């Protein structure tokens, strides 16, 4: 009776060992299958990435990269263009006329504006003038105020030459020459212009104007301000 029990025990042991062996053998293909699946997934991912990089959309993305198209460069170019426009406007003359008839003044004004320049008519803006056009050195309010601000004092022949040339020409050949007025008022026009660029004649000086002063306070105030001075309204 004992012999059959031993055989059953041996058979059970063999079955258990065979089952474990089968489990171990079955586990190896599963690991290989998982490895193959992972490799296949990575390969597909690389192919997909390459196909996306080769696509037209990717090429467009490369063209629009910051290295090839920089917003900073575009804004810099815009600033440069804006700066050039501002410089161009600064180089255009702002002209004040004095001593001319109304008809002549209209003709000269049209010439200046056609060429892109600007005519100053309000003496509140006299400090913006670059040119004073006059055929004589009369002591008008315009002449005395502009003398402290302008770079050039020229005669009317300069305007006529500009009209013929269809552009603003050099001023050197058209500087105002009035030796009679210079001897009468004891001044030298070129020297006065040079001194005005170095230092204003009334720089740091304050004035109090009485009601009956001549020229009238309004006109005299314009001259004083143009020459760098100040006018006090109260003592």
Query: Cα 40–42–45 angle (5° rounding)?
Result: 110
What is the model's pLDDT at position 92? 87
Whether 206 contacts 163, CB under 8 Å: no
pTM here? 0.61
H or E element at residue 49: helix 2-53
Whether 128 contacts 96, CB under 8 Å: no
CB atoms within 10 A of CB 181: 16
Summarised one tens digit per residue, pLDDT across range 28-78 is 444 344 444 545 555 555 544 454 445 445 444 444 444 333 333 333 333
Summarised one tens digit per residue, pLDDT across range 71-122 is 333 333 333 333 333 333 557 899 999 999 999 999 999 999 999 999 999 9
Q: Where are the domains of the chain?
A: 74-198, 201-235
Q: Which residues contact 126 (CB under 8 A, 6 or more apart)?
A: 96, 120, 142, 145, 146, 149, 222, 226
For the domain spanning 74-198, the CATH number is: 3.40.50.10190
Summarised one tens digit per residue, pLDDT across range 150-193 is 999 999 999 999 999 999 999 999 999 999 999 999 999 999 99
What is the model's pLDDT at position 42? 52
Average pLDDT over residues 210-222: 93
* pLDDT, mean over the chain: 75
């Amino acid at each position: 009776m004992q012999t059959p029990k031993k055989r059953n025990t041996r058979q059970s042991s063999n079955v258990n060992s065979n089952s474990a062996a089968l489990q171990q053998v079955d586990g190896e293909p599963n690991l290989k299958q998982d490895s193959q699946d992972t490799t296949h997934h990575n390969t597909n991912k690389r192919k997909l990435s390459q196909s996306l990089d080769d696509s037209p959309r990717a090429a467009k993305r490369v063209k629009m990269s910051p290295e090839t198209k920089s917003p900073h460069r575009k804004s810099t170019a815009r600033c440069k263009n804006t700066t050039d426009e501002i410089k161009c406007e600064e180089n255009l003359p702002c002209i004040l006329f004095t001593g001319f008839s109304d008809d002549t003044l209209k003709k000269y004004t049209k010439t200046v504006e056609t060429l892109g320049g600007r005519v100053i008519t309000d003496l509140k803006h006299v400090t913006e003038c670059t040119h004073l056009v006059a055929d004589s050195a009369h002591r008008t309010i315009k002449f005395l105020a502009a003398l402290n601000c302008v770079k050039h004092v020229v005669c009317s022949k300069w305007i006529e030459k500009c009209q013929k040339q269809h552009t603003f020409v050099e001023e050197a050949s058209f500087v105002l020459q009035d030796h009679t007025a210079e001897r009468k008022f004891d001044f030298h026009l070129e020297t006065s212009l040079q001194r005005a660029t170095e230092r204003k004649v009334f720089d740091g000086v304050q004035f109090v104007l009485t009601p009956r002063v001549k020229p009238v306070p309004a006109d005299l105030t314009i001259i004083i301000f143009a020459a760098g001075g100040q006018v006090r309204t109260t003592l």
